[in-house]
Structure 1
Amino acid sequence: MSSIEIRLSGSGGQGLILAGIILAEAAILDGKNSVQSQSYGPEARGGSSKAEIIISDEYITYPKVLKPDVLLTLAPSAYLCYKNDMKENGIIIIDESIIPNDEDAQKVVRLPIIKTAQEVIGRAFVANIISLGVIAELTNVVTKESLERAVLNRVPPGTEEINKRALTEGYNLVKMRCSEIWQKQMI
């Protein structure tokens, strides 16, 4: 890896700005260069939001994501807004409950991120941490050790265990989905 551009997008209140900060910190803990930027609508909750992260083994000359290698989206409006910005072989990670099938997308990974947060963990607010586990498992852009350390550095006191579980659920979502795809290909 020389450089990877990541965009996390959704609605205000989903914790994606925090997720971007955590991912950038994990990269730094791994000894890589990283820059993170963010933007959100005028509404504190419910408006659009995005966090962008560039992680590189080399010096980062421009701090904004131009063509993401990875797009994670947890809201339909964000998906429609950003899906066409991707690099040719980019990966789009979407929450399957809110985004319809899109045959035009190059490489789409549909996962039940929000449902997992609500039903498996029992707290919708950890969808952002589940998303980080998904990204780490799919891309290996940061080590799991550094990601967990960055999560624990940034989450509110008293939520450490639930956030560690959320991170593990993110890893597991990818492992299960990849296993399902592999099994279908063998039939």
Structure 2
Amino acid sequence: MKKELRLTGSGGQGLILAGIILAESVIKNGFNAVQSQSYGPEARGGASKSEVIISDNDINYPKVNSPDLLLCLTQKSFDKYAKNIKKKSILLVDSCVNIGDNIYTDFCYKIPIINTAKEKIGKQMVSNIVALGAIKELIEDIKDESLKQAILARVPQGSEELNIKAFNEGKMLIKNISK
């Protein structure tokens, strides 16, 4: 098993933290994982990318070439990275992203990640955790309990309940599509 995930958006959306949490959660389940990141020179609002490779074997190269899952929280990140995905990749985009007719995959999920964080949770800053809930539902090798543990180990003290609620809302976004 080998999965390559690329989480993209803008600085301040917590995607680097989300990538770290994903990597730590799968390591708890006995997989190997590597996480890398890049972001623009701006502290907030610049381009941001976090990549995670999960494997049950050694990982010889730490960069994602063609992701099995691509998350895009902004239009700019979609425009930049969507053309590099495979036909069988999972494309997960926020509902604010205009994908037009340029869908390069058979598996596209357009869901209100940012709006869910703002409206249902009351804090846009947990959009990354909402996204993790959705990703968990789409990648079967990611286990619910270990991902929750990794979230709780990384979020600020006092925000645990808020983040678990965000995680569960993200899972529901995908479950509601499947119905």
The normalised TM-score by structure 2 is: 0.97
Percentage identity across aligned positions?
51
1:126-165 aligned at under 5 Å gives the runs 126-165=126-165
Measured in 1, the distance between the counterparts of 2:50 and 2:98 equals 19
1:50-69 aligned at under 5 Å gives the runs 50-69=49-68
Once the two structures are TM-superposed, the CA of residue 99 in structure 1 deviates from its matched residue by 2.7
Q: Cα deviations across residues 116-138 of structure 1 (Å, max 9, x unaligned)? A: 00000010000000100100101
Once the two structures are TM-superposed, the CA of residue 87 in structure 1 deviates from its matched residue by 2.3
SS at structure 2 position matched to 1:9: strand
Task: Tell me if structure 1 keeps the 8 A contact 2:86–2:104.
Answer: no
For structure 2, the 5+ residue unaligned runs are: none
Moved over 6 A (4+): none
Once the two structures are TM-superposed, the CA of residue 141 in structure 1 deviates from its matched residue by 2.8
Give the paired residue count.
178
1:4 corresponding residue in structure 2? 3
Measured in 2, the distance between the counterparts of 1:162 and 1:101 equals 34
1:115-134 aligned at under 5 Å gives the runs 115-134=115-134
1:182 corresponding residue in structure 2? none
Give RMSD over aligned pairs. 1.0
Q: Cα deviations across residues 8-64 of structure 1 (Å, max 9, x unaligned)? A: 000000000000000000010111000000000000100000000000011111111
In structure 2, do the counterparts of structure 1 residues 39 and 103 end up closer, same or farther at CA, with 3 Å as the change threshold? closer
Task: Tell me if structure 1 keeps the 8 A contact 2:39–2:48.
Answer: yes
In structure 2, do the counterparts of structure 1 residues 72 and 144 end up closer, same or farther at CA, with 3 Å as the change threshold? same
SS at structure 2 position matched to 1:102: coil
1:175 corresponding residue in structure 2? 175
Paired residue type of 1:162: L
SS at structure 2 position matched to 1:42: coil
The normalised TM-score by structure 1 is: 0.93
For structure 1, the 5+ residue unaligned runs are: 180-187
Once the two structures are TM-superposed, the CA of residue 100 in structure 1 deviates from its matched residue by 3.8
Once the two structures are TM-superposed, the CA of residue 142 in structure 1 deviates from its matched residue by 1.1
Measured in 1, the distance between the counterparts of 2:117 and 2:101 equals 24
Measured in 2, the distance between the counterparts of 1:78 and 1:108 equals 15
Once the two structures are TM-superposed, the CA of residue 103 in structure 1 deviates from its matched residue by 4.6
